[in-house]
Chains A and B, each alone.
Chain A
Amino acid sequence: MRQINKAARHTTGRLLSIRKAGTYFHLVLQAEGIAEGAKPGNFIALSVGGDQSSMLLHRVFAIYRSRQDPSHGSVIELIVARSGKGTDWLVAQSEGTLLKITGPLGTSFPLPADPVNVAIVGGGYGAAPLFDLADHLKVRGCRVDAIIGAATSSKVFAPLEGKRTVNSVTVTTDDGSAGIQGRVTDVLPEIITRQSIDLIYSCGPMAMLRAVDDIARSLSIPHQVSVEEAMACGVGICMTCVLPMMRGDEVKMVRTCIEGPVIDGEEIAWDEVAR
């Protein structure tokens, strides 16, 4: 069994900036000791609502980018979608707000040793951590083709600097308001063939991850998925974020905050995942 991320720290950080990115919010946090150990695919947990909050549980977010900033030190960036009272509170905060932050948490995207051809497949704000991953893949000489999907154009997360990193970006939207009308899986097979894709990374809603995994399995292409499960703690103590995974011949309920969020697609017992 995997253990909690050995780089995890708990600290009080500060909101350095917040701005809108489509329907999402781009948050930049000063988080001492956390960016140092962060790897693409890791996530952080935040307390919300202040010290007297009636919202007790952690809110967890994939790290969009992490870096050492000359003036602010350890900096973590997030892409936050409003999804309830906790995120409503978070995106209403102004610069300077102090936040309790725990991270980096969870597994990271394993990187290929060789310069292979990679497809990154992101759904909605799930695209955010994939652009950081793309940076690391490019450094290793990989070709990276991005397929970014969303329900509608305002939910497509494809920042300019991210687009510059990758070799190509294909956008799909359910309503056709941006890019190709349809799903990421409508365009993925053709891109796999055209670019001789060796490896797929995906992050987004569970239904999308499963559909991408079906394609990856049918073509025997390794596929790393980053899942988003409801978590109360993010640090491995609440047992709520479990996902049915293959462990030998058995299906086990495994904590996605410890053994995920990045998981080999082959390990997920998709038929037993709650819908």
Chain B
Amino acid sequence: MTLDFSTTIAGVRFKNPIFTASGCAASGKELSQFFPLKELGAVVTKSIMLKARSGRPTPRMAETPSGMLNSIGLQGPGIDAFIEEDLAWLQTQSCDVIVSIAGETVDEYGALARRLRGQRGIKAIEVNISCPNVANRGQVFSCDPVTARAAIEAVRINLGGEFPIIAKLSPDVTDIVAIAREVIEAGADGLALINTLLGMVINPKTLRPHLAGKTGGLSGPAIRPVAVRAIFQVRERFPSVAIVGMGGVVHGEDALELVAAGANAVSIGTASFGNPMSVIEIRDRLSTLIQDHGFTRFSDAVGVAHER
């Protein structure tokens, strides 16, 4: 019995359902030291902004029980340098690429989309409207239905239908299904669920927030039940929308949980920090588990928890 491990996200086929998570693989070059990137379903790049950004001061990281806080602030080279260097390099790797973008304004989202039109070697665009580290919390686009819709519309209009749009949402909202509805109506072809949750660690010795940026995004297995819940709720309401699931997947069993909740693909983030081979180990384990459950097609396992 052979497994059809391929998955389809908004009409685009990927050879397997294991992706990197944005912001946890840079632009792929470092992980390629450990395995060929074409082994992955897709490389999802760090979120690229219009201009180069130096990010937040240090400390930028705190390990927490079964997780971590990060406060990077979308450090990156800006879209032009990204296209010239990182994307050009990725195009030589025979791997599928999803480019993640993040803007500070609705217009910036539009400008980023325009800049990516006509670029080769891109399978989809992830629109990160949920980074907790770029501005103060009130300005996270995906926490407000109006701004969430505006950002996705700006991308859709400027992208001209060239690539599918995956909207990355924050779980830090009262009703994630309502936000999902807004971005789907605005033209998102798929959803990335979930971004990090906003958190804080206070150093018990200094009694000051440990991170220089005070707050940071919580990731790792600590947030996995939140991811499973969010994916389950959105899948229940939108049976056919593409969902890229992520949130604390460390083992193949964890990936299967997200798939059963309704994820068409699973991104691996924090796990790569503690083991650069995680993505490959999780991919292989997930493949085995799905076959052990008697499936011959990965797609048949997607959302299976809703039927049991």
Q: Which residues of A contact B (CB under 8 A)?
A: 3-6, 8-10, 47, 53-58, 86, 100, 102, 229-233, 235-243, 251-253, 258, 274
Q: Could you tell me if A10 and B273 are in contact, using CB atoms closer than 8 angstroms?
A: no
A233 to B58, CA, bound (A): 15
CB distance from A147 to the nearest CB of B (A): 28
CB distance from A36 to the nearest CB of B (A): 15
CB distance from A240 to the nearest CB of B (A): 4
Q: Could you tell me if B61 and A237 are in contact, using CB atoms closer than 8 angstroms?
A: no
B273's partner among A5, A54, A100, A238 (CB-CB below 8 A) is A238
A240's partner among B58, B66, B274, B277 (CB-CB below 8 A) is B58
A213 to B217, CA, bound (A): 35
- B221: CB under 8 A from chain A? yes
Q: Could you tell me if B75 and A237 are in contact, using CB atoms closer than 8 angstroms?
A: no
Q: Could you tell me if B55 and A239 are in contact, using CB atoms closer than 8 angstroms?
A: yes
Q: Could you tell me if B275 and A253 are in contact, using CB atoms closer than 8 angstroms?
A: no
A229 to B58, CA, bound (A): 9
Q: Could you tell me if A57 and B274 are in contact, using CB atoms closer than 8 angstroms?
A: yes
Most chain A Cβ neighbours within 10 Å, of B273, B274, B275: B274
Q: Could you tell me if B61 and A100 are in contact, using CB atoms closer than 8 angstroms?
A: no
Q: Which residues of B contact A100 (CB under 8 A)?
A: 275
- B225: CB under 8 A from chain A? no
Q: Could you tell me if B54 and A4 are in contact, using CB atoms closer than 8 angstroms?
A: no
- B6: CB under 8 A from chain A? no
Q: Could you tell me if A239 and B221 are in contact, using CB atoms closer than 8 angstroms?
A: no
- For chain B, the count of residues having a C-beta within 8 Å of the partner chain is 37
A258 to B34, CA, bound (A): 15
CB distance from B23 to the nearest CB of A (A): 8
CB distance from B292 to the nearest CB of A (A): 19
B274's partner among A5, A47, A241 (CB-CB below 8 A) is A47
A53 to B30, CA, bound (A): 24
CB distance from A256 to the nearest CB of B (A): 10
Q: Could you tell me if B26 and A56 are in contact, using CB atoms closer than 8 angstroms?
A: no
Knowing A56-B221, A57-B68, say if A237 contacts B272 (CB, 8 Å).
yes
Q: Could you tell me if A242 and B75 are in contact, using CB atoms closer than 8 angstroms?
A: yes
Interface string of B31-60 (1 = CB under 8 A from A): 101100000000000100000001101111
- B199: CB under 8 A from chain A? no
* 30 intermolecular pairs with C-beta atoms under 8 Å apart: A10-B34, A10-B275, A10-B277, A54-B221, A56-B270, A56-B273, A57-B273, A58-B273, A86-B63, A229-B58, A231-B61, A232-B273, A233-B272, A235-B31, A235-B276, A237-B26, A237-B272, A237-B273, A238-B24, A238-B61, A238-B72, A239-B72, A239-B75, A242-B55, A242-B75, A251-B54, A252-B54, A253-B54, A274-B57, A274-B59
